[in-house]
């Protein structure tokens, strides 16, 4: 295969190395020097050389020899290129066949092995099932025997010798039971075997299907490879036919390019990496072998020193013979032999030069090929380097993109957190507002409840006081009316007392009026009520009247003398009036007791009212 010539190996150095394809032109001195150095007769050699160089016949011969030599070199190069091509084609075809044949054989072998293994497994399963069935039947027989032995033992223990009739019936029954059990077991086992066989068949079918699919896959691969190989063969044949019109060097160069292209294509569209690796290794070996053979051949045949040495050897022999025959007696023959020797040496030199020229051309051609290989390899290395660079750049770009992505994710996460915090703060604020509203609502509700309770209580107090006021107003008014004469009489004797009664009666009337107004206001609709709540009650500034009253009442040390006198008089008048009226001690005690009871009742009522207010 041509690909092997390109991949995995280092191309030969086109110059300087031992066995190189290139022979440097323009250095004929070495050959001349070599001839002169080995002649052994410098004077004769130099003379002969100079005379021969002037000889036109010698030049004509030299041209002919050079033409022959060049023709031979071209033919050899063409033959070598053709041989290389044939060898490469053969190797390619053989490799293609070697690649495709094992695949098919392997698929067939796998299929056969899988089918055989499946059948073998099915047989094994059936054999194991049969064995298990036999084992179960044997176990049941043993169990039945044990059971019978137990029954017999029980009969013996019960001192009931089994009669022939009982034992026969028992045996019949047991036999019947045993047969029935066996039939049932056989049926179950048959069913089990059928199920197992179904499972085995399904498994085998599954495996056969897998093998078939694998074989189809392998067949597809093989066909693809065959198609590819056939296409390559057609292309190669076409190229070979076209190459007949080309010079061997051009054909070799084209072939090399084709092989490189094929190798690249083959590698790029290779069926599998493994086959590619194998091809690469084989190609490397083939290339090494090819280059080794060519190199050795060229070393042996294209080395001017080799050719020179061959002719030199002959020249030396001739010169030695010539020298031996330099005696005058043998002058003519010696001259002839010497001339022959000279011709041989000359020929050796010319042949060496011509050979060098011919091989120079071949070497240049191979050098060109080598340079192309170098160039191709350099381009490939450059492409690989660029590919690696692109991969590195892509990796860096990817890393950068990942970093950007991470930063973006982090930013989004922070934004989300900030948003959540803001939402939480807003939620808390709304909750606080809601709580405040709720509290305000509750305060309003509480206030309404309190007001309602207060209104209820006020209504109750007002209602009670109204009833009491009404009663006492009527009673005291009636008393005053009934006893107006008496009061007038009292006034004559105790002015203070009478005035006090009249004054207090007047005050009571005004208070009744105020209380009545309060009662009427309390009875008004709720929306019109004016409720004075304790908490809302503001400290009223002291009015001048109130301030004066407080001042008067707070100076007991400087009482009003007139009032004190009046008080004294009133007391005396009272005492006198009491004496005059002659109130008895019994009636006074009864009145005191009544007053005490009345006060206690009022105190109890006031306490109950306070409790209801608190409620």
CB 493 within 8 A of CB 580: yes
Rounded Cα distance, 361 and 75, in Å: 13
Q: Does 459 bind another protein (CB under 8 A)?
A: yes
Smallest gap, in angstroms, from Cβ of residue 483 to another protein? 5
Smallest gap, in angstroms, from Cβ of residue 469 to another protein? 6
Smallest gap, in angstroms, from Cβ of residue 427 to another protein? 41
Other CB atoms within 10 Å distance of the CB of residue 269: 9
The sign of the torsion formed by the CA atoms of 105, 106, 107, 112 equals positive
Smallest gap, in angstroms, from Cβ of residue 463 to another protein? 3
Rounded Cα distance, 262 and 308, in Å: 42
Tokens 């569209």, residue? 269
Would you give the binding string for another protein spanning residues 15-54, x where CB under 8 A is met?
A: ----------------------------------------
What Rg, from alpha-carbon coordinates, does the chain have? Answer: 72
Q: Does 269 bind another protein (CB under 8 A)?
A: no
Residue whose CB is less far from another protein, 360 or 494? 494
Which one of residues 83, 202, 428, 514 is an interface residue with another protein (CB under 8 A)?
514
Q: Coil, helix or strand for 599?
A: helix
State the number of CA atoms in the 13 A half-sphere of 260 facing the CB. Answer: 19
Smallest gap, in angstroms, from Cβ of residue 610 to another protein? 9
Q: Which stretch binds another protein (CB under 8 A): 16-24, 110-118, 390-398, 459-467?
A: 459-467
Smallest gap, in angstroms, from Cβ of residue 497 to another protein? 6
Chain positions 399 to 458 lying near another protein, rule: CB under 8 A, are: 453, 456-458
Rounded Cα distance, 129 and 135, in Å: 10
- Size of the chain in residues: 615
CB 577 within 8 A of CB 494: yes
Chain positions 303 to 362 lying near another protein, rule: CB under 8 A, are: none
Residue whose CB is less far from another protein, 300 or 587? 587
Residue whose CB is less far from another protein, 274 or 485? 485
Residue whose CB is less far from another protein, 119 or 599? 599
Q: Which stretch binds another protein (CB under 8 A): 170-178, 399-407, 422-430, 515-523?
A: 515-523
Q: Does 571 bind another protein (CB under 8 A)?
A: no
Would you give the binding string for another protein spanning residues 473-512, x where CB under 8 A is met?
A: -xxx-xx--xx--xx--x---x--xxxxx-xxx-xx-xxx
Would you give the binding string for another protein spanning residues 525-564, x where CB under 8 A is met?
A: -------x----x--x-xx-xx--xx-xxx-x--x-----
Which one of residues 113, 424, 581, 603 is an interface residue with another protein (CB under 8 A)?
581
- In the chain, the N- to C-terminal Cα span, in Å, equals 115
Residue whose CB is less far from another protein, 177 or 550? 550
Which one of residues 583, 589, 600, 604 is an interface residue with another protein (CB under 8 A)?
583
40: left (phi over 0), alpha (psi -120 to 50) or beta: left
Applying CB under 8 A, the site for another protein has a residue count of 77
Residue 12 phi, psi (nearest 5): -70, 145
Q: Coil, helix or strand for 556?
A: coil
Q: Does 595 bind another protein (CB under 8 A)?
A: yes
Q: Does 210 bind another protein (CB under 8 A)?
A: no
Rounded Cα distance, 318 and 558, in Å: 185
Tokens 């299929």, residue? 111
Environment class of 265 (CB within 10 Å of its CB; exposed 0-12, middle 13-18, buried 19+):
middle
Which one of residues 209, 423, 591, 597 is an interface residue with another protein (CB under 8 A)?
591
Residue 160 phi, psi (nearest 5): -115, 95
Q: Does 464 bind another protein (CB under 8 A)?
A: yes
Which one of residues 598, 600, 603, 604 is an interface residue with another protein (CB under 8 A)?
598
Tell me which residue of 436, 526, 358, 380 sits closest to 21, measured CA to CA.
358
Which one of residues 422, 467, 523, 565 is an interface residue with another protein (CB under 8 A)?
467
Smallest gap, in angstroms, from Cβ of residue 519 to another protein? 9
Smallest gap, in angstroms, from Cβ of residue 588 to another protein? 8
Residue 525 phi, psi (nearest 5): -60, 155
Chain positions 218 to 237 lying near another protein, rule: CB under 8 A, are: none
Tell me which residue of 295, 308, 299 sits closest to 350, measured CA to CA.
308
Q: Does 523 bind another protein (CB under 8 A)?
A: no
User: What single-letter DSSP state applies at residue 442?
Assistant: H
């Amino acid at each position: 295969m041509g690909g092997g010539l390109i991949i995995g190996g280092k191309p030969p150095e086109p110059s300087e190395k031992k066995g190189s394809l290139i022979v440097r032109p323009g250095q004929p001195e070495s050959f001349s020097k070599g001839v002169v150095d080995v002649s052994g007769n410098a004077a004769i050699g130099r003379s002969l050389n100079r005379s021969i160089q002037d000889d036109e016949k010698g030049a004509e011969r030299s041209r002919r020899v050079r033409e022959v030599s060049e023709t031979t070199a071209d033919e050899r190069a063409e033959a070598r290129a053709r041989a290389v091509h044939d060898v490469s084609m053969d190797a390619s075809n053989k490799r293609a066949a070697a690649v495709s044949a094992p695949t098919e054989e392997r698929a067939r072998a796998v299929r056969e092995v899988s089918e055989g293994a499946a059948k073998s497994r099915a047989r094994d399963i059936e054999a194991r099932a049969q064995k298990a069935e036999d084992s179960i039947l044997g176990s049941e027989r043993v169990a039945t025997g044990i059971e019978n032995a137990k029954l017999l033992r029980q009969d013996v223990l019960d001192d009931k010798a089994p009669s022939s009739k009982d034992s026969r019936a028992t045996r019949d029954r047991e036999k019947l039971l045993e047969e029935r059990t066996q039939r049932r077991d056989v049926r179950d086992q048959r069913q089990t075997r059928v199920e197992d066989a179904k499972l085995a068949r399904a498994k085998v079918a599954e495996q056969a299907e897998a093998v078939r699919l694998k074989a189809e896959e392998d067949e597809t691969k093989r066909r693809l490879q065959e198609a590819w190989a056939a296409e390559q063969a057609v292309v190669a044949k076409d190229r070979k036919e076209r190459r007949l019109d080309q010079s061997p060097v051009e054909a070799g160069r084209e072939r090399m390019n084709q092989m490189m292209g094929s190798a690249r294509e083959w590698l790029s569209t290779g069926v599998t990496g493994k086959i590619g690796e194998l091809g690469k290794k084989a190609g490397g070996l083939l290339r090494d072998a090819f280059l080794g053979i060519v190199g050795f051949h060229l070393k042996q045949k294209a080395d001017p020193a080799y050719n020179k040495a061959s002719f030199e050897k002959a020249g030396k022999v001739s010169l030695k013979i010539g020298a031996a025959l330099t005696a005058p007696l043998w002058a003519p023959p010696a001259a002839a032999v010497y001339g022959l020797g000279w011709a041989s040496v000359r020929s050796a030199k010319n042949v060496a030069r011509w050979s060098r020229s011919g091989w120079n051309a071949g070497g240049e051609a191979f050098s060109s090929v080598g340079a192309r290989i170098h160039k191709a390899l350099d381009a490939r290395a450059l492409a690989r380097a660029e590919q690696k660079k692109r991969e590195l750049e892509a990796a860096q770009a990817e890393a950068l993109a990942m970093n950007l992505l991470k930063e973006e994710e982090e930013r989004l996460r922070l934004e989300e957190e900030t948003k959540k915090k803001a939402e939480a703060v807003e939620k808390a604020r709304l909750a606080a507002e809601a709580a405040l509203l709720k509290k305000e609502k509750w305060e309003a509700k509480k206030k309404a409840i309190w007001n309602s309770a207060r209104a209820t209580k006020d209504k109750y107090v007002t209602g009670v006081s109204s009833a009491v006021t009404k009663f006492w107003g009527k009673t005291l008014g009636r008393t005053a009316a009934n006893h107006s004469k008496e009061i007038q009489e009292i006034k004559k004797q105790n002015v203070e007392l009478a005035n006090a009664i009249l004054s207090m009666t007047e005050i009571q009337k005004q208070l009744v009026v105020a209380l009545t107004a309060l009662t009427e206001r309390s009875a008004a609709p709720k929306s019109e009520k004016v409720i004075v709540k304790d908490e809302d009650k503001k400290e009223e500034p002291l009015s001048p009247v109130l301030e004066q009253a407080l001042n008067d009442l707070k100076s007991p040390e400087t009482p009003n003398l007139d009032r004190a006198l009046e008080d004294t008089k009133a007391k005396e008048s009272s005492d006198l009036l009491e004496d005059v009226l002659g109130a008895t001690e019994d009636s006074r005690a009864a009145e005191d007791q009544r007053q005490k009871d009345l006060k206690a009742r009022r105190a109890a009522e006031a306490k109950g009212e306070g409790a209801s207010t608190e409620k």
